[in-house]
A = this chain, B = another copy of it.
């Protein structure tokens, strides 16, 4: 379906890319949803009426920023937050953002 799925190694995750990814309201919402729901099938993430090309775009930004990991399962993509990885790289960052987004 696609070429190699690029995901940065923990050490390669950049603060600027993470902040940039989180600065979009829709992506922030998707990240919060991933945190609440755990691993999720791509198609079920975000507003149901969102066009799949738009969803694919946002997930690509999140993945390339190092925020999510994607697992191929048949024709589906299973997506989850790289929570522990992010916490190791930037301690407290994702935790505080998620707590702030929940309130």
Contacts and interface: CB of A to CB of B under 8 A. Distances in A.
A90 interface: yes
A25 interface: yes
Chain A interface size, under 10 / 10 to 19 / 20 to 34 / 35 or more: 10 to 19
Interface string A57-96: 0000000000000000000000000000000011111011
A25 B17 CA distance: 10
Given A22-B23, A23-B20, A23-B23, A15 B100 contact: yes
Nearest to A23: B23
Nearest to A15: B100
Nearest to A89: B100
A100 B15 CA distance: 7
Nearest to A18: B100
Nearest to A16: B25
Interface of A: 15-16, 19-20, 22-23, 25, 28, 89-93, 95-97, 99-101
Q: Which 9 A-B pairs have the closest CB atoms?
A: A92-B96, A23-B23, A93-B96, A90-B100, A92-B92, A19-B23, A15-B100, A20-B23, A19-B22
